[in-house]
Amino acid sequence: MQPETANISVDDADLVEQCRQGDSEATERLILKYQNRIYNAVLKICGNTDDAAELTQDTFVKIIENIDKFESRSSFYTWAFRIAVNLTLNYCQRSSRLRFRSLDAEESEHDAQTKQVLKTYLTDDASPDPAAVAQNKELCEMVVKALARLDDEQRAVVVLRDIEGMNYSQIAEVLETELGTVKSRLSRARGELREVMEAICNDG
């Protein structure tokens, strides 16, 4: 799978500089460029649409407030995701509410949330065969339920790698950890994910 990050244009530095100069149009362009991707990642980690929307808004508030502190030693992309993931993980640690209730919401909302998971985990999601489509949907629902059962850090690394499509170096920057830690954490998370999916299959 080709990571989506390959499609990011290279004008972030220009937009950041314009934002620093108070250009509101550049700020809006930067927000529009990344808000959906950040929202989708945050949603997969925190599991609730209302919380994800609020956390995404908080992310961009913090980005704008700290844009002068961005030193370009990493890409704006990974810096923005670092802020988003940190806010989300901190929220998850503080929150005692049952998360992921929104993943069992009405069908249209559920389909929207699982579309990216389908794209990642299925090798042929364009099959015209209705039976294959039905199986894919069932697998997609299983993956989302399995993600909900991982702990917050495991879920974050799976989301960044297997859904957002980041490489290991980018994930290490976002999570502010070593490359080896990312690889071992991802390996454990994927193993846990497989075990949970097998348990869901057996329960079903």
Residue labelled with tokens 């909302």: 109
CA distance 204 to 201: 5
CB atoms closer than 10 angstroms to residue 40: 19
**pLDDT classification of 190: cutoffs 50, 70, 90:** confident
Which amino acid, residue 33?
A: K
CA distances from 119 to 33, 163, 197 (A): 20, 8, 17
pLDDT of residue 1: 37
Higher pLDDT: 128 or 170? It is 170
Domains of the chain and CATH, by start: 10-203 (1.10.1740.10)
Q: What is the mean pLDDT of the chain?
A: 77
pLDDT of residue 63: 95
Residue labelled with tokens 């954490």: 185
CA distance 204 to 65: 48
Using alpha carbons, select from 66, 61, 76 the residue that is nearest to residue 20. Answer: 66
**pLDDT classification of 137: cutoffs 50, 70, 90:** low
Give per-residue pLDDT as tens, 78-128.
999 999 999 999 998 887 544 554 444 333 344 444 444 434 443 333 334
pLDDT of residue 136: 58
**pLDDT classification of 145: cutoffs 50, 70, 90:** confident
Which amino acid, residue 143?
A: V
pLDDT of residue 10: 42
Q: How many residues does the chain have?
A: 204
pLDDT of residue 144: 74
pLDDT of residue 192: 87
Prediction pTM value: 0.75
pLDDT of residue 135: 55
Measure CA of the first residue to CA of the last residue in the chain; give whole Å: 30
Q: What is the mean pLDDT of residues 181-192?
A: 92
Q: What is the mean pLDDT of residues 149-162?
A: 90
In the predicted structure, residue 199 carries a pLDDT above the cut 60 = yes
